[in-house]
Amino acid sequence: MRQLQPMPSALLLASLGWLVGASSSYGVQTETHEEKAANLKKQAIGGLFQKWTFDQDQIHDLPGGFEQGVSVDGSPATWAVLTSTSAPSVPNVVAGSSSCAQGCYQVLMAKELEYEYPDLSVRFHAPDGAGAGGLVFGARDAKNFYAAIVDPVLRKAQLIRISDGRDRPLAQASVNLKQVDWHSLRVQRNTIISKDFIEVYVDGTLVLSVEDKALGLGQIGLVVVGKSTMFFDSFHAVPLFSHRPLSSPPAY
């Protein structure tokens, strides 16, 4: 039987060097701190991550980059940037005040931004102790969108789909609000195989999970319902899926 000859050490080192070169060429390359910061800055400029605190907007005006609408014919809400010393991000908030009947949804939508599977969050406060409002997503226009709504007085959260101005409740649940002035609302729309799931969190707790994919890509924004006044601050938007390379998203 022919015996195998040991590989010369020089050839062995050359072979190992080729393998190391191959892994560095075809493997996942790590980013330096500087490269990660530069990539994140490019993504933020491109609109991948959005954060609105309204602190640089003009008082008593609409916040820059937003447009308002109403789901049914009627008087539009008053949306304006105001000062608030209790705001999570001082000094400004955006306030929505509506006097229309119940079932009227007043929206303030971000212009030229569309998401199919967004991760949205906002802080909200009812200054008069009453009111209902929340987040809008999947919006084709002011009469076709999803809305995640919280009523602090009734302590209820709802997920609603509005089509041609008519609302269709998809789910609702009681919520245990924290004993604070400002609450948090978060919405994630995710997909698993062919199913689309919408999840709603209030003050960090999952309260609703619904399967629905009637509406797809659309605008995002804020909403007040019926006769309500609500303050909003620290509005964040991140796409859960993108064809663009991602670095770690910022913490909320």
Interval 146-184: pLDDT, tens = 999 999 999 999 999 999 999 999 999 999 999 999 999
Q: Rg of the chain's alpha carbons, rounded to an integer?
A: 24
Burial call 80-92: b when 16+ CB within 10 Å, e when fewer: bbeebeebbbeeb
Q: Confirm whether 26 is domain-assigned.
A: no
pLDDT band at 129 (very low <50, low <70, confident <90, very high): confident
CATH number at residue 159: 2.60.120.560
CB distance 39 to 245 below 8 Å = yes
Q: Confirm whether 18 is domain-assigned.
A: no
Q: Confirm whether 124 is domain-assigned.
A: yes
Q: Confirm whether 23 is domain-assigned.
A: no
pLDDT band at 74 (very low <50, low <70, confident <90, very high): confident
On average, the pLDDT of the chain sits at: 83
Q: Confirm whether 19 is domain-assigned.
A: no
Q: Confirm whether 17 is domain-assigned.
A: no
Residue with tokens 């609703």: 208
The span from the CA of 196 to the CA of 213, in Å, is 6
Q: Confirm whether 199 is domain-assigned.
A: yes
pTM score of the predicted model? 0.78
Positive or negative, the CA dihedral 114, 120, 125, 129 is positive
Of 29, 248, 235, 243, the residue nearest 135 (C-alpha): 235
Q: What's the pLDDT score for residue 41? A: 52
Count: domains in the chain: 1
Share of the chain above pLDDT 90, in %: 66
Burial call 43-65: b when 16+ CB within 10 Å, e when fewer: beeeebbbebbbeebeeeebbee
CB distance 180 to 88 below 8 Å = no
Q: Confirm whether 121 is domain-assigned.
A: yes
For residue 26, CA distances in Å to 22, 29, 33, 62 come to: 6, 8, 21, 50
Which residues constitute the domain of residue 128? 50-239
The span from the CA of 175 to the CA of 154, in Å, is 9
